[in-house]
Chains A and B, each alone.
Chain A
Amino acid sequence: MIFKVILIGCSANIVDQAEELNGFIAENLGRGDHGCSTILFCSKKQEKNALLNLVPTESVKLVTVAGYRPETILEALKMVENIEETHLYLFPGGYAGSELAVRWAFRIKGSSLVQVSQLEYTENQLIAKKKVYSDYVLGVFRLKKKPYCIAPARGSASSLPIRVKRPLNVTEHDMTQLHKDRFVKSSKWTADETTGDLEKAKFILIGGRGMSNAENAEKLKKIAGSMGADFGVSRPVAMNAWSTMDKIVGVSGAVTKPDVCIVAGASGAAAFYAGIEKSKYIVAINKDIRAPIIKSSDVAIIDDYKAVMDELVKLISAQT
């Protein structure tokens, strides 16, 4: 099968994009046939050699654009790409990659699936697996129309640093004059807090709706700091503005894989659990023995999380 990897070099998370896709390729596709390549979008001011070190294939089209705009990237893709020779396009797993995968598939009359956890290519057909029903169920789908456009689910594969034989076969395309974003009249980007730190943390303490208010959320955040843990929350906590959005753990936030994860006062609905299921060890503290998190934990305490955490932080702080 001939696949093309799309990388958005003009995004600050380019290293994560490249390593996650490299891991996804290794776990699902192998190296592919001759003709597999990467299309790497970058901006004029970027250090190109550093970006080229992130390319997971032996050949690359380096496309320089004015900046990341989905409309411009899609138009540039149309100009540099020959869809006849491609079976599969692999996009990064974040917001941008998912958007491009769906829109590109529509434009080239292919089929798309995003948040994919696994791929199988057998007998000239592509089978993709992804979680559905709020992550309670794994759906298996057959994609019927080539070219296939896929964006993996974040955290679906282990990140794998790039090791490709050099030199690369590089062709460069200057698309800096291309502007398909005339509907945007002004734009201001802010380097907000992102979920990146949580996704790399080894020890996490997560608070759920059982915290009841912003004051308790702040207290638990301080406890996390005293214990040397990163702090996360379930989505309802952030929606109530008891915490910031970058702390959300789950389908709509960070997908974590810590060695130890303590969950305090969260019921453990599947959409939340998707953000902690790769934890090596899960501790649940909840007043309700029927909460789903109890069965989904390695060890659990049925009690008020506040009294348990007040004692636990003393013990852990004394050790460190």
Chain B
Amino acid sequence: MNILVCFTVIPELEMLIDEDWVVDENLQIDVGFLKHSLNCYDESALEIALKFSDAARKRHVSPNLSALTIAGPEANPILKTLNALRFNRVVRIDNHDDIRFNSMAIASMLSQYVSNRMPQDVLLMGWQSGIGENAKTPLLVAEMLGWPCITQVTEIEPVDNNHLMVTCQVDDGRLQQTIQIPCVMSIGNAPNSYMRIPALKDRMQFGKRPVEVLHASDFEPFDEGIELVSLDVINHERSGILIEGATPEEKARKLYKSFLAERLKKL
């Protein structure tokens, strides 16, 4: 069973201070100096794939795990980590175009990779990422491939070579389904899915394996049908009155007496 996890690395935006949030004339915000880390839902997708692989091995089946990102060299440290975690293949589609809000372009590259270069049975990816917040890519990949898509997936277990047991959240509860592959899985809020850390010996032995690099220009472009008009930084500020006091108890009493008691009475 060939499993491909598609992921993105994003800048750690919470490190920006108010003055850093500047939109330039090209509708860009300079975040290049920030540390990059895995998009949280993609991190869950990678760990779910690793857990699935562990469970499958116990049944003497070894899935072939690949990981792919569309990014510049900022993704290399994560790709090395994925090598050390024993992904069979790690791929970076080198891209320098602005695809922040272009899910069609992203989905098109991913689906072309699967159709034309490396056939897969299961695709896993987070349901959205922290810059574009498009929440469209897995759905579009499924449409382009003509595959079904299961959304808000939280757990995947092996059944046999052609079937998986998939648990997902739906608007009014939880759904557990046995499905036939191929399928796209869009990963949601999955508990206990922080990505594991590779052992030092695996980092030494496998971490330096080469990353396969492809180029975005090798793929046919796809028009999104959406045009960015402007970006406006949101001001979340409120009055932020600080309560002073010698002890936490004194501060709590001041909070209650001056700010909360009347409000709570009205509830």
Asked if A298 and B241 sit within 8 Å, CB to CB, the answer is yes
The minimal Cβ–Cβ distance linking A100 to chain B, given in whole angstroms, is 9
The minimal Cβ–Cβ distance linking B32 to chain A, given in whole angstroms, is 14
CA–CA, A99 and B170, complex, Å: 11
The minimal Cβ–Cβ distance linking B247 to chain A, given in whole angstroms, is 8
CA–CA, A271 and B177, complex, Å: 30
Asked if A138 and B234 sit within 8 Å, CB to CB, the answer is yes
Asked if B232 and A137 sit within 8 Å, CB to CB, the answer is yes
Q: Within 8 Å of chain B (Cβ to Cβ): is A80?
A: no
Asked if B234 and A131 sit within 8 Å, CB to CB, the answer is yes
Q: Number of contacting residues on A, CB 8 A?
A: 97
Asked if A295 and B238 sit within 8 Å, CB to CB, the answer is yes
Q: Is the interface on chain B under 10, 10 to 19, 20 to 34, or 35 or more residues? A: 35 or more
The minimal Cβ–Cβ distance linking B51 to chain A, given in whole angstroms, is 14
Asked if B180 and A308 sit within 8 Å, CB to CB, the answer is no
Asked if A316 and B248 sit within 8 Å, CB to CB, the answer is no
Asked if B189 and A111 sit within 8 Å, CB to CB, the answer is no
CA–CA, A235 and B23, complex, Å: 28
Q: Within 8 Å of chain A (Cβ to Cβ): is B133?
A: yes
Q: Within 8 Å of chain B (Cβ to Cβ): is A260?
A: yes
Asked if B234 and A137 sit within 8 Å, CB to CB, the answer is yes
Which one of A99, A277, A283 has the greatest number of beta carbons of chain B within 10 Å? A99
Asked if A307 and B13 sit within 8 Å, CB to CB, the answer is no
Which of B14, B180, B231 has a CB less than 8 Å from the CB of A185? B180
B251 partner residues in chain A, CB cutoff 8 A: 301, 303, 308
Asked if B191 and A241 sit within 8 Å, CB to CB, the answer is yes
The minimal Cβ–Cβ distance linking B242 to chain A, given in whole angstroms, is 6
Asked if A271 and B130 sit within 8 Å, CB to CB, the answer is yes
CA–CA, A94 and B170, complex, Å: 9
Asked if B236 and A273 sit within 8 Å, CB to CB, the answer is yes
A187 partner residues in chain B, CB cutoff 8 A: 175-178
Asked if B183 and A183 sit within 8 Å, CB to CB, the answer is yes
A297 partner residues in chain B, CB cutoff 8 A: 238, 240
Binds A, one of B55-63, B112-120, B199-207, B222-230: B222-230
CA–CA, A259 and B6, complex, Å: 41
Q: Is the interface of A mostly helix, strand, loop or mixed?
A: mixed
CA–CA, A202 and B255, complex, Å: 19
Asked if A136 and B135 sit within 8 Å, CB to CB, the answer is no
Given known contacts A102-B136, A144-B227, is B13 in contact with A134 (CB within 8 Å)? yes
CA–CA, A288 and B143, complex, Å: 46
Q: Within 8 Å of chain A (Cβ to Cβ): is B198?
A: no
Given known contacts A99-B149, A111-B226, A253-B189, is B176 in contact with A188 (CB within 8 Å)? yes
Closest to A107 in B: B143
Which of A136, A185, A235 has a CB less than 8 Å from the CB of B178? A185
Q: Within 8 Å of chain B (Cβ to Cβ): is A304?
A: yes
CA–CA, A228 and B264, complex, Å: 10
Binds B, one of A26-34, A163-171, A190-198: A190-198
Given known contacts A133-B29, A239-B193, A283-B255, is B266 in contact with A296 (CB within 8 Å)? no
B189 partner residues in chain A, CB cutoff 8 A: 235, 238-239, 245, 248, 252-253
Asked if A139 and B240 sit within 8 Å, CB to CB, the answer is no
The minimal Cβ–Cβ distance linking B83 to chain A, given in whole angstroms, is 25
CA–CA, A281 and B136, complex, Å: 34
Asked if B130 and A259 sit within 8 Å, CB to CB, the answer is no
Q: Within 8 Å of chain A (Cβ to Cβ): is B21?
A: yes
Asked if B149 and A70 sit within 8 Å, CB to CB, the answer is yes
Q: Within 8 Å of chain A (Cβ to Cβ): is B76?
A: no
Which of A130, A137, A240, A304 has a CB less than 8 Å from the CB of B29? A137
| Interface 1/0 per residue, B141-185 and A, CB below 8 Å | 011100011011010000000010000011111111111100100
Asked if B253 and A315 sit within 8 Å, CB to CB, the answer is yes
7 A-B pairs with the lowest CB-CB distances in the bound complex, closest first: A111-B225, A12-B172, A307-B248, A311-B252, A145-B225, A94-B171, A192-B174
Residues of A within 8 A of B (CB): 11-13, 68, 70-71, 94-96, 98-99, 102-103, 105-107, 110-115, 127, 130-145, 181-192, 194, 202-203, 228, 235, 238-241, 245, 248, 251-253, 259-260, 267, 269-271, 273, 277, 281-283, 289, 292, 294-304, 307-309, 311-312, 315-316, 319
16 pairs from A and B in contact (CB 8 Å cutoff): A103-B142, A133-B133, A138-B231, A138-B232, A183-B148, A190-B173, A239-B192, A240-B192, A245-B191, A252-B189, A270-B234, A273-B236, A300-B243, A303-B251, A307-B249, A315-B253
